């Protein structure tokens, strides 16, 4: 439970940073960045959060399920344009995957040989 | 009939249904590895709701409770990120460069494909931020002048596609290594793709989470020149 409290606490800090400091990132992404920094600096010990984090991450997929079910409401809106939409979405996703993969390998390789 | 309606307007209905379908999907996935658990969970529930004629709004009451935990789960990505620090050491510049290349490619390829397929302007603008996490895609779609909710839908569907087919596509293109795989999945399909990688490799999942966070920071910056163009 301590782990969950820490995770929720960091998300809450992210929420405050978003709303009161105007940082244009979602609260959970700000929380992720801040928790990573805290781990590297030793402010938060891995043992405190590891169990809760492992449980949540093991079942990460379930948390997206309701949002995907929610796309049901947009099927009518997508309806008339579905060919253009699916071709572009799939085409662009494949392009991003391949280009990112190749360029990252290339940059990583170049650094290695230095 | 009214009693039934009261039953599924309770949060318990949406929560129980989601957990039930998820557990079933996990089981099926053990047997048939290619069956993607998230696809089975969400697709199964869609069919169930349609067949039983249950309105999405009723499901959403409980569904929102499940979605709430996406928050702490995303924060928890700091753990695999921290653990893969050793692997990422000295490769940070390569990852950042890969994320920038991928994010530019995402914006340009959507614009190019949607224009050549004669899509409407509103749909095109809503799809531009599709590789970012859905809250960012919703916000960017709004700022670009598209439909915010549609932006969220495209982000989620792109994530699902990358989660289902991303690892196989990378494999067939001979893209190997934790760094390249993690960066490619995180950049193209944010949290949903990251969830897929975490099932097999904590290191790849950690790198993917890092790339996802970076994409969320870089894409809004890359969108600034688009405001000048439109």
The answer, for B201 touching chain A at a CB cutoff of 8 Å, is no
User: Domain segments of chain B: what residues?
Assistant: 2-68, 78-229
Rounded to whole angstroms, the maximal C-alpha distance in chain A is 54
pLDDT tens, residue order, chain B (230 aa): 567 778 888 999 999 999 999 999 999 999 998 899 999 999 999 999 999 999 999 999 999 999 999 999 999 999 999 999 888 888 999 999 999 999 999 999 999 999 999 999 999 999 999 999 988 899 899 889 999 989 999 999 999 999 999 999 999 999 999 999 999 999 999 999 999 999 989 999 999 999 999 998 899 889 888 887 77
The whole-angstrom separation of Cα B113 and Cα B131 is 15
pTM, 2 dp: 0.90
Which pLDDT score is estimated for B7?
Answer: 80
Query: Per residue in A49-87, pLDDT tens?
Result: 999 999 999 999 999 999 999 988 888 888 788 999 999
Helix crossing, A46-58 with B178-200: angle to 10°?
A: 80
The rounded distance, in Å, linking the Cα atoms of A35 and A79 is 42
Contact across the interface for A57 and B205, Cβ inside 8 Å: yes
Angle at B129 between CA A94 and CA B185, to 5 degrees: 40
Q: How many CA atoms lie within 13 A of B94 on its CB side?
A: 27
Integer-rounded Cα Rg, in Å, for chain B is 19
What SS3 class is residue B121? helix
First to last CA, chain A: 46
Binary contact (A64, B162; C-beta < 8 A) = no
Q: Under an 8 A CB cutoff, do A91 and B79 touch?
A: no
Closest CA to B210 of B104, B106, B69, B78: B78
- The reported pLDDT for the residue numbered B227 is 80
State in Å, rounded, how far the first CA of chain B is from the last one.
52
The Cα–Cα gap between B124 and B176 comes to 32
Whole-number pLDDT of residue B2: 67
In chain A, what residues touch B105 (CB-CB under 8 Å)? 92, 95-96, 99-100
CB contact under 8 Å between A89 and B157, yes or no, is yes
Query: What does the block give as tokens for A36?
Result: 């990573």
What does each C-alpha distance from B132 to B80, B86, B152 come to in angstroms? 20, 26, 9
Model confidence pLDDT, tens digit, residues A9-58: 999 999 999 899 988 888 888 999 999 999 999 999 999 999 999 999 99
Q: Which of B140, B82, B71 is nearest to A31 (CA)?
A: B71
C-beta of residue B69 within 8 angstroms of C-beta of residue A44? no
Region A97-104: mean pLDDT is 97
The interface residues of chain B toward chain A in range 22-51, judged by CB-CB distance below 8 A, are: 22, 37-38, 41-42, 45-46, 49-50
């Amino acid at each position: 439970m301590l782990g969950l409290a820490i995770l929720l606490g960091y998300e809450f800090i992210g929420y405050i940073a978003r709303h009161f400091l105007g940082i244009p990132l979602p609260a959970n992404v700000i929380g992720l960045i801040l928790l990573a920094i805290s781990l590297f600096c030793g402010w938060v010990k891995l043992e405190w959060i590891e169990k809760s984090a492992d449980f949540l991450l093991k079942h990460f997929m379930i948390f997206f399920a309701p949002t995907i079910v929610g796309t049901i409401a947009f099927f009518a809106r997508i309806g008339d344009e579905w060919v253009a939409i699916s071709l572009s979405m799939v085409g662009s996703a494949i392009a991003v995957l391949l280009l990112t993969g190749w360029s990252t390998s290339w940059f990583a390789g170049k650094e290695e040989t230095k | 009939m009214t009693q039934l309606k009261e039953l599924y307007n309770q949060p318990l209905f949406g929560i129980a249904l989601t957990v039930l379908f998820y557990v079933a999907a996990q089981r099926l996935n053990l047997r048939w590895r290619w069956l993607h658990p998230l696809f089975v969970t969400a697709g199964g529930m869609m069919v169930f709701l349609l067949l039983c004629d249950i309105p999405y709004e009723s499901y959403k009451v409980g569904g929102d409770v499940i979605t709430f935990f996406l928050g702490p789960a995303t924060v928890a990505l700091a753990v695999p990120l921290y653990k893969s620090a050793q692997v990422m050491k000295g490769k940070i510049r390569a990852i950042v460069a890969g994320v920038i290349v991928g994010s530019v490619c995402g914006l340009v390829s959507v614009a190019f494909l949607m224009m050549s397929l004669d899509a409407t302007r509103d749909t095109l603008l809503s799809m531009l931020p599709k590789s970012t996490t859905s809250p960012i895609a919703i916000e960017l779609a709004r700022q670009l002048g598209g439909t915010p909710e549609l932006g969220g839908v495209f982000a989620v569907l792109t994530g699902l596609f990358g989660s289902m087919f991303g690892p196989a596509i990378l494999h067939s293109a001979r893209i190997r290594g934790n760094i390249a795989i993690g960066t490619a999945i995180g950049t193209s399909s944010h949290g949903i793709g990251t969830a897929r990688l975490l099932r097999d490799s904590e290191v790849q999942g950690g790198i993917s989470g890092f790339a996802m966070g970076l994409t969320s920071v870089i894409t809004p910056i890359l969108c600034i020149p688009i405001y000048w163009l439109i």
